[in-house]
Amino acid sequence: MTEQERNSLTLTEKVVKASEEAAAAALERHRRLGQPIAILRDGQVVWIPASEILTHRSPSNTIHPYKPGRREPSIT
């Protein structure tokens, strides 16, 4: 994202973008170190092995591993 694009965002958009970037960095760190992550799925804590952690934007037709049956949102 260029500086001009970043400056044109609202404060809310900047917060969302920063949160997404921080989450992506944390997931990548867990994947790289071989550490699982814990998520909440259907009210239950589920451990996701490092080998199954997505750390990149995948095509919109890919099933998101953390939400069975739900497609990952497309990012434009």
45-70 pLDDT, tens digit each:
999 999 988 755 544 444 445 455 55
Q: Indicate the Cα dihedral angle 19, 71, 64, 67, nearest 10°.
A: 90
What is d(CA 36, CA 51) in angstroms, rounded to the nearest whole number? 8
Predicted confidence band of residue 74 (pLDDT cuts 50, 70, 90) = very low
CA gap 41, 57 in Å, rounded: 21
Q: How does the average pLDDT of the chain come out, rounded?
A: 75
Identify the pLDDT of residue 55.
58
pLDDT (tens digit, 9 = 90+) per residue, 35-44? 999 999 899 9
Angle CA(16)–CA(67)–CA(54) in degrees, nearest 5? 65
Calculate the CA 66 to chain-centre distance. 10
Amino acid of residue 17? K
